[in-house]
Amino acid sequence: MFNPGEPRTICYCNKITDREIIKTVKETGLTSIADVKGFLRDEIVSNCVELNPTGMCCHQSFDAVIQYAMKS
């Protein structure tokens, strides 16, 4: 799922990468999407239809990264 090379954008609205999520979960113990986003960004944008190239919400991918971080 994760490439050790370049970080992969998970949340396009807030420009959050998989690496940022993993680091935050490991360093802070935060495990909810809202908490991780709030920790990483002062203002949260939510406009997936326009900002995410897939046109879909990032929550499924975001949660998968959180789960990965909790297991590794």
Q: What is the pLDDT of residues 8-64, one digit of tens each?
A: 999 999 999 999 999 999 999 999 999 999 999 999 999 988 899 988 899 999 999
Under CATH, what is the fold of the domain 9-71? Arc Repressor Mutant, subunit A (1.10.10)
pTM recorded for the entire structure? 0.88
Q: In terms of Cα–Cα distance, which of 62, 64, 63, 68 is closest to 14?
A: 62
Q: Taking each helix axis as running N to C, give the angle between helix 18-28 and helix 59-71, from 0 to 180 degrees, rounded to the nearest 10.
A: 50
pLDDT confidence tier of residue 6, bands split at 50, 70 and 90:
confident
Q: Please name which of 39, 40, 37 lies closest in space to residue 48, comparing C-alpha atoms.
A: 37
Segments making up each domain of the chain, as ranges:
9-71
